[in-house]
Chain A
Amino acid sequence: MATVKLFGAFGDVAGWTEQEIDASTLGELKAMLGANHPRLGNRLDHPSTMVILNNTIVPHSLRTDSSPISDEDEIAFGPPVSGG
């Protein structure tokens, strides 16, 4: 199962910050997250949302629902960062 992390307000909306989730594509993962938390689901598709796969930012232009996710992957979602 992939490790999924939620940062900033996303963690508050979902009520957790890290979970192991069984999903084979980015689209499947987003659908599972959105099914439990519709407000979170709406935000995950937003261009400004950060998607970080194995410590590398995935730009909005390269995110597709068919992007594969493997068991070893760590994928994080967060609102745009607000700086220190």
Chain B
Amino acid sequence: MIQVTTDPINPGDLLAAFTVDRNQAGAIASFTGLVRSTTDGAAVSRLTLQAYPGFTEKVMADIEAEARGRFDVQDIIAVHRWGEIEVGHPIIFVAVASAHRRPAFEAVDFLMDQFKVRAPFWKKEDGPGGPRWVEPRLADHDDLSRWIPKPL
């Protein structure tokens, strides 16, 4: 389940709700991404994320479907916030339920690497030098290459 919202995210509430009635699951792994106070040594006072409502959900749902096809998981939730977000507040919450722990850990890791590079959000950081749009990081693209099968 994908949700894109301008409302604040409460990871505790989301995880508690996701955990209810999981008699078949042996594991739930989760990840919460927060707004950092510094980026590459520069102070950040606030983050503004721009989404493309409709299209952003579609791309994230495609990524969720890829994860379901790739890992032995029972359920996935990803909630992504956009708009103005203060330092220390959650941007994204992801949780995966599975029978055993390994697919849950791996699916969360995969989902975050894919969302970071492919989910349509444009990021603007406010700092001492004024607001600036953030370009993609090469390291994020390197993270994606972890999921490409290597030749034997």
* Residues in chain A near residue B33, CB distance under 8 A: 84
Q: Check if A83 sits within 8 Å of B123, measured CB to CB.
A: yes
Q: How long is the Cα–Cα vector from A10 to B122 in the complex, in angstroms? A: 11
Residue of A5, A7, A78, A83 with highest tally of chain B CB at under 10 A: A83
* Residues in chain B near residue A9, CB distance under 8 A: 122, 133
Choose among A7, A76, A83 the residue that contacts B136 (Cβ–Cβ < 8 A): A83
Interface size range on A against B: 10 to 19
Q: Check if B115 sits within 8 Å of A83, measured CB to CB.
A: yes
* Residues in chain B near residue A7, CB distance under 8 A: 50, 52, 120, 122
Given known A-B contacts A8-B133, A12-B133, A83 and B55 have beta carbons under 8 A apart: no
* Residue B66 lies at the interface, judged by CB distance under 8 Å to chain A: no
Q: Check if B55 sits within 8 Å of A55, measured CB to CB.
A: yes
Given known A-B contacts A79-B133, A83-B115, A8 and B49 have beta carbons under 8 A apart: no
Interface of B is mostly: mixed
Choose among B58, B91, B120, B124 the residue that contacts A78 (Cβ–Cβ < 8 A): B120
Given known A-B contacts A8-B122, A55-B58, A76-B55, A83 and B116 have beta carbons under 8 A apart: yes
Q: How long is the Cα–Cα vector from A80 to B80 in the complex, in angstroms? A: 18
**Interchain pairs with CB closer than 8 A, number:** 63
B45 CB, min distance to chain A CBs, angstroms: 18
Q: Closest residue to A76 on the B side, CB-wise?
A: B52
Q: Check if A81 sits within 8 Å of B121, measured CB to CB.
A: yes
Q: Check if A83 sits within 8 Å of B52, measured CB to CB.
A: no
Q: Closest residue to B49 on the A side, CB-wise?
A: A84
* Residues in chain A near residue B124, CB distance under 8 A: 8
Q: Closest residue to A55 on the B side, CB-wise?
A: B55
Q: Check if B123 sits within 8 Å of A80, measured CB to CB.
A: no
* Residue B119 lies at the interface, judged by CB distance under 8 Å to chain A: yes
Q: How long is the Cα–Cα vector from A52 to B92 in the complex, in angstroms? A: 24
* Residue B27 lies at the interface, judged by CB distance under 8 Å to chain A: no
B130 CB, min distance to chain A CBs, angstroms: 12
* Residues in chain B near residue A76, CB distance under 8 A: 52, 55
Q: Which chain B residues numbered 103 to 134 have a C-beta less than 8 Å away from chain A?
A: 115-124, 133-134
Interface residues of B (CB under 8 A from A): 33, 49-50, 52, 54-55, 58, 80, 91-92, 115-124, 133-137, 140
